[in-house]
Every structure is written in structure tokens, then in C-alpha cells.
Structure 1
């Protein structure tokens, strides 16, 4: 029996068609000459971000102190994110609220957090993007590194100026063994002040081959330091670096876990996801044992599990959450991220919930519940970061 369908023809045909269709869609949303901007924030939102009262923000504005917000006809004040950061620094320098500037000081190391799990669909990218944007809004300097060749985190930022993964604009250019380039050259600014990215693309897969060849030549575990060494070049510029890992435990993920100071493992409260996580942990433990015996084991400030896509009214999920709470104990974050159409809608628009105006949603209360859930989880993770720095909560 002869088969008529050529695998090469099939893959080439639909790879080209899909790439062209997605590129056209991206260009429709963000044309080459489009300038993507962050939305503006009301004085109520600014007060929440700064941890002060709205009356205090209004008083500062009326005194002509800090940046001058846009004032609407109804008297509402709107601030750009750049103005929020300017106001934060002004209050930290000129007021009694020194704590309002959260950035790390001398003696506090840049926190490198790997977001990882074995299974696709566990919300690794959503967790990374929402945590990164939250921290940037809170005043931290954040770098998000897309470690997944599928480049979901990268695609969420639309058309970034001058970026083309085919031209070596990914992390691979800084971690390859032959002629690596300075990491600063691949950092991309985004439309969100304080939030930068290092993009991903298919060339990241070449790291797996190059590691195998390098180990054949020299042996050892030197490849584990490639990500760490690349990030060290830019660590002084950031407070937090987030690594959005691929859904596999490959050489790149192992190098990311070695570079990390903290680890987040998103897990939906579903039997298949929890079972997959168990296998991920078993495989990771076997690798870590080998690395420990070779003297290359990783040490972290924290490692936590985070329940994602949670539906509290779903009885099986509630039971699975109880099981996870029993097994993981304090290593499971108290706050779970709720499943929400608001999140999926925002990601469809290539935005996080922090970028989208509440009014854009047909059911604003759905947005409210989603943002409340995400804020609670992100605040808990932020506490882990400042605790690792030795600060009092």
C-alpha cells in the first residue's frame, strides 16, 4: 500500500500558510508604523499602586507637586505610567514615604524567578506576563525572558521594533558557545515603563544540539551556567528577572533552573495536570541528583506551587485543591488564580489584564473578579521577593 501524503509537503504547506495568516493578523492589530502605548490610570488606581489614599494624590496634585496629570472635563485626573513612576520617585525623595520606592538597594541581589512546569496549558506565560506587569506597575525594574521556542510571551508584545528571531535576536545569541553577543544587545524595551523583554524564536532549539556537541567535546556541566552568565551581564539594571520556561525539562530549562533564585510552578487543579506535575517533579529530582553529585546543584530562595485556572464551584477542582494543600502545605501559595474569560479575552488581544481598560469588557464584574484574583497571587509573590531581600513585611 502506497501512502499519498508527503509529510514534508504537509508541514511546509501549513507552516507557511499559518505563519502568513498570523503575521497578517499581527500587522492588522499593530501595523509597522503603529506605536503601542500603555493605557492611562485614574487617581484611584494610582493611589492603589502607590499604597496611599486618593485624597493624598489629589492633595499633591493641587499643590502643583510631582507630574501634572491630564484633567478631564468632569475633574477626573489621568496619569500615564511614566507619570506614576515619576510621582513614586518624587514622593520617595521629598516625602516621608521612603518605602514607596520598592527597588532593591545595595546588598539585595536581583531576583531571577523561573516559571516552569512539564505540561503545556498550565498558564506559565499568563503567570509570567501578569506578574511582570504587576511588578512594573508597582515600581520595580523587570526583565522578562522568553525561554520557549514557541515564543508565546514574545507574541504578546505585538510587533517589537527591530526584532526578528531569524536574525539572532533571541537569548540563544547570548548563550551559544561560539561567539556569543552581549546580552544588552538583545534586550527590547516595551510600551510599559520598567518592563523589558528578551524575545524567543525557533533558534532557541539550537541550544539543545550545541550542548550535546559541547558535552561530547569537553564533558562536564558547564552548559548549566550559560543562562546565568548571560543574565549576570544585565542583572544590575533590574530588580526582578522572570524566565518563562518551555513545557519540557531540556538543557535550556535546566540552565534556567540553575540561574534562578526562585521558582514558580503553575498547576491547574485538574487530575491530569497534577499527575503531569508529579512526573515533572520526579524527572527534575533525578536530574538534580545528578547535578548535586557533580557539584552543580541549584540553591533557591523559594520554590512555590501556584494553582491556576481555578473554578471554586467545580467540586472535583475543590477536592484537588484540598489534596494539593495537604501535599504541598506552605509551599502552595494561599491565593489561586481563577479561571476567567476576561484573561483569555485579554490574551487574545495580546494584552495582560493590566493593559486593558475595564470598560472594554462586556461584563466588567468578570474583569473585577479576575483582576482581584491575579492581584492577590502577585502580591503574595511580591512578598516572597522582598522577604528574600531580608525586608520586613
Structure 2
């Protein structure tokens, strides 16, 4: 029997068609000459971020201290992210609240957090982007590194100036064995003050081949240090570095786990996802045993599981959550991220929930529930960072 469909033609045809369609969609959302900006925050939101009262924020402004907010036609006082940071530093000078400036101090090491699970659809990228934006809005210096060749985290930032995934501008440039580039040269500033990104692209897959060739030559495990060595170059410039891993347990993921000081494993409360996570842990455990035997065991400040896409009214999910709490105990975060159309809509717009105005949603209460859920989980993760730094 003769088959008439060429696999090569099929793959190339639809690869090109889909790339063109997505590029046109991206251009429609964010034209090449467009300057992407972060939304302004109402004084009530600013007060919540700074953990002070709205009246205190107004009092500072009336005294002519701090940044001058924009006043809308309805009389609302609006602040940019840069102005919020300026306010934070002003309050830190007064010293009324400890850690109002949360940036790490002398003796506190940069926290490098790997967000990982080899089950696709577990919300790794959503978890990374929302945690990163949350921490940046809280005043931390944050770097997000996209380690997934599918580059979903990268795509969420729209068109970044001077970034071309085909010209060696991905994180692979810093971890390749031949002629690596300085990590700092790969960092891109985003439209959110305090939040930088190192992008991904298909060339990250070349790391797997390069490691295999290097192991054939040397027989060693030097590849495990590639990510750590690249991050070490720029760690002093950040408080928190987040790594969005690929949905696989490959050489790059292993190298990132070796570099990490903490690990976050997002898991939806579904049987297939939990079962996949069990296999991930089993496989990762076998690799970690090999590394330990070779004297290169990874040591972390913490490793936690996070339930994502949770539907409180779904009984099977509630039962699975109960099982996870029984098995994981204190290593499962108390807070979970609920499944929400608000998050799905925001990601479709290539934005995190923190970037979207509440008024843009047809059902603002849906936004409120999603934001409450995400903030609670992110606050719990922030407390883990504080514990690692030895803060009270």
C-alpha cells in the first residue's frame, strides 16, 4: 500500500502557516513600534502592596512628599510601579515598618527557585509569571529565566526589543560548552520595574545533544553546573531568580535543579496529574541518587507542592486534595490556586492578572476570586523566602 501524505511536507507546511498566523496575531496585539507599559495602580492597591493604610498614602502626598500621583477624571489617585517603589523606599527611610524594603541584605543569598514538573498543563508558566510579577510589585529585584524551548514565558512578554530566538539570544548562549556569552548580555528589561527576563527558544534543545557529546568525551557530570555557573554571574543583582522549566526531566532540568535553592512543584488535583507527578518524583529521585553517589547532590532551602487549577466545588478534586494533604503534609502549600477564566483570559492577552485592569473583565468578582487565590499562594511562597533568609 502506498501512502501519499509526506510527513516532511505536513510538518513544514503547518509549521510555517501557524508561525505566520501567530506572528500576525502578536503584531495585532503589540505592534513592533508599540511601547508596552504596565497599568497604573489605585491608592487602595498601593496601600495593600505597602501594607499601610490608604489614608497614610494620601497624607504623604498632601505633605508634598514622595511621587505625585496621576489623578483621574473621577478623582482616583493612580501610581505607576516606579512610583510605588519610590514610595516604598521613602517609607523604608522612616523605618516604621521592618522589611518595608524587602530586598535582601548582607548575608542573605539570592534565592533561586525552580518551578518544575514534567506533566504539561500543570501551570508552571502561569505560576512563574504571577509569582514574578507579585514579587516585583512587592519591591524585590526579580529575574525570570525561561528554560522551556516552547518559550511560553517568553511569549507572554510580547515583542521584546533586540530579542531574536534564532540569533542565539536565549539562555542557551550562557550555558553552551563552546564560547558561552556573559549571562548579563542575555537579560532583557520588561515593562515592569524590577522584573527582568532571559528568554527561551528552540535552540535550548541543543543543550541535550551538547551534554551527550560532552559526557561521551569526558564521562563526567560537569553539565550539572552549567546553569549554576551562568546564574552565579548575575546573582548579586537580584533578590529572587525564577526558572520556568520544560515539561520534561532532561539534562537542562537536572542542571536547573542543581542550581536551585528552592523548588516549587505545581500539581493540579486530578488523578492523571498526581499520578504523573508520582512518576516525576520517582524518576527525579533515581537521578538524584546517582548525583549523590557522585558527590554532586543538590541541597535546597525548601521544596513545596502547590495545587493549581483547583475547583472547590468539584468533589473528585476535593478528594484528591485530601489525599495530597495526607501524603505531602507540610510540604504541600496551604493555599491553592483556583481555576479561573480570569487567569485564562489574561494569559490569552499575554498578561498576568496583575497587569490587567479589573474593569476589563465582564465579571469583576471572578477577577477578585482569582486574585485573592493567587495573592494568598504567592504570599505563602514569599514567607518561605523569608524563612530561608532567617527573617522573623
Residue 284 of structure 1 aligns with which residue? 284
Partner of 1:14: 14
- Indicate the RMSD between aligned Cα atoms, in angstroms: 0.7
1:74 maps to: 74
* Per-residue Cα deviation, 1:178-206 (whole angstroms, up to 9, x for no partner): 00000000000000000000000000000
Matched residue, 1:217: 217
Return the alpha-carbon distance in structure 1 between the equivalents of residues 76 and 246 of structure 2.
Answer: 43
Q: How many residues were matched structurally? A: 392
User: 1:361 maps to what in 2?
Assistant: 361
Distance between the aligned counterparts of 1:96 and 1:348, measured in 2?
41
1:96 equivalenced with 2:96 (yes/no): yes
* Distance in 2 separating the partners of 1:342 and 1:71: 27
Q: Does 1:391 align with 2:391?
A: yes
1:377, distance to aligned residue in structure 2 (A):
0.2
CA distance in 2 between counterparts of 1:319 and 1:91 reads 46
Question: CA shift at 1:90, angstroms?
Answer: 1.2
Q: Distance in 2 between matches of 1:314 and 1:77?
A: 41
> How far has the Cα of 1:219 moved from its partner?
1.2
Separation in 2 of the partners of 1:189 and 1:316? Answer: 43
Q: Which secondary structure state, in structure 1, belongs to the residue aligned with residue 114 of structure 2?
A: strand
Q: Which secondary structure state, in structure 1, belongs to the residue aligned with residue 86 of structure 2?
A: helix
Aligned to 1:25: 25
CA contact (8 A) 1:50 1:100 kept: yes
CA distance in 2, matches of 1:314, 1:91: 44
Give SS of 1:32's match.
coil
Q: Distance in 2 between matches of 1:73 and 1:182?
A: 48
Distance in 1 between the 2:272 and 2:300 partners? 27
Name the residue aligned to 2:324: 324
What are the equivalent positions in structure 2 for 1:1-393 lying under 5 Å apart?
Answer: 1-392=1-392
Runs of 5+ in structure 2 lacking a partner?
none
Between the aligned partners of 2:340 and 2:357, the Cα distance in structure 1 is 16
Q: CA deviation at 1:76?
A: 1.7
| Secondary structure at the counterpart of residue 119 of structure 1 | coil
Once the two structures are TM-superposed, the CA of residue 94 in structure 1 deviates from its matched residue by 3.5
| Alignment partners' CA distance in 2, 1:303 and 1:255 | 16
Please list the CA deviations of residues 334-384 of structure 1 after superposition, one character each: whole Å capped at 9, or x if unmatched.
001000000000000000000000000000000000000000000000000
Q: Deviations over 1:29-55 (max 9, x none)?
A: 111100000000010000000011101
Separation in structure 2 between the aligned mates of residue 75 and residue 344 of structure 1, nearest angstrom: 32
Per-residue displacement from partner, 1:99-152 (whole Å, max 9, x unpaired)?
210000010000000000010000000000000000000000000000000000
Return the alpha-carbon distance in structure 2 between the equivalents of residues 297 and 287 of structure 1: 10
Instruction: Give me the TM-score of the superposition, normalised by structure 2.
Output: 0.99
- Measure how far apart 1:72 and its partner are: 2.5
* 1:317-347 CA distance string (max 9 Å, x none): 0000000000000000000100000000000
Distance 2:77 2:327 in 1: 48
Residues 279-331 of structure 1 deviation map (CA, whole Å, 9 limit, x = unaligned): 00000000000000000110000000000000010000000000000000000
Secondary structure in structure 2 of the residue aligned to 1:354:
helix
Cα deviations across residues 128-177 of structure 1 (Å, max 9, x unaligned)?
00000000000000000000000000000000001011000000000000
